[in-house]
């Protein structure tokens, strides 16, 4: 099943509950929440208290993307805040196995993320334990960047891995995805689409519905 996970990084932070409702009305079932610490990436965004507050107003699947150093320090906070998926960067920690175990022990789903410069083989030791692999098609930190199409080769590698091993996990893409290039993502085997600016600029509900139409083709 293909999934749209709109990124609230591109929404109006003063109206996050409304931002969640708008994409839900367009058919989205997930919400992508970017957490940045100003160290691992050069930006600061949302923390666990915001996730907890938003959880009260939305039934969407919270797809929480931790772009922070040593995410193992904050896993419990984001679990308690109401995250459904917690995705962390392989480059940001030496405790990947511990994080995976802790998230699963709490009954939540866990994903592992790759920056553009990181080879896909870096996450191969964990592919039999994660629920999702997130491929960044921009350098993480800021929205509105241009899509790096060469990163789709990582998705093709993951598709072949799944066929070879019988393992099952989501393949997610994040960065510069829009209505013009989303089909190329789907053709590469990606089934979870993160879109920020392409959803939250203009008619948000209609933009989400346009993505959902393509994802349902």
Active-site residue set: 34, 174
Contact at 8 Å (CB) between 98 and 72? yes
The alpha carbon of 207 is separated from its chain's Cα centroid by a whole number of angstroms, namely 18
Retrieve residue 5's tokens.
Answer: 């996970």
Determine the Cα–Cα distance for residues 148 and 175; give it in Å rounded to an integer: 8
Retrieve residue 149's tokens.
Answer: 């199409």
181-183-184-187 Cα dihedral, nearest 10 degrees:
170
Determine the Cα–Cα distance for residues 151 and 155; give it in Å rounded to an integer: 8
CA nearest neighbour of 61 among 14, 19, 4, 143: 4
Contact at 8 Å (CB) between 116 and 139? yes
Q: How many CB atoms neighbour CB 39 within 10 A?
A: 12
Determine the Cα–Cα distance for residues 127 and 92; give it in Å rounded to an integer: 17
Provide the terminal-to-terminal Cα distance of the chain, rounded to the nearest Å: 11
């Amino acid at each position: 099943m293909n999934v749209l996970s709109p990124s609230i990084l591109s929404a109006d932070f003063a109206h996050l509950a409304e931002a969640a409702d708008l994409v839900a009305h367009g058919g989205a079932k997930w919400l992508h929440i970017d957490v940045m610490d100003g160290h691992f990436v050069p930006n600061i965004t949302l923390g666990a208290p915001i996730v907890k507050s938003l959880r009260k107003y939305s039934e969407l699947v919270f797809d929480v993307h931790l772009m922070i150093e040593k995410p193992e320090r904050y896993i419990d906070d984001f679990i308690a805040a109401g995250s459904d998926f917690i995705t962390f960067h392989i480059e940001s920690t030496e405790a990947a196995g511990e994080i995976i175990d802790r998230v699963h022990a709490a009954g939540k789903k866990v994903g592992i993320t790759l920056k553009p410069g990181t080879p896909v083989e870096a996450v191969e030791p964990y592919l039999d334990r994660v629920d999702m692999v997130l491929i960044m098609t921009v350098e993480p930190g800021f929205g509105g960047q241009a899509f790096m199409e060469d990163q789709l080769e990582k998705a093709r590698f993951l598709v072949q891995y799944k066929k070879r091993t019988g393992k099952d996990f989501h393949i997610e893409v994040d960065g510069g995805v829009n209505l013009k290039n989303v089909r190329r993502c789907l053709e590469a085997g990606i089934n979870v689409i993160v879109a920020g600016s392409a959803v939250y600029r203009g008619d948000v509900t209609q933009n989400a519905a346009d993505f959902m139409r393509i994802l349902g083709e």
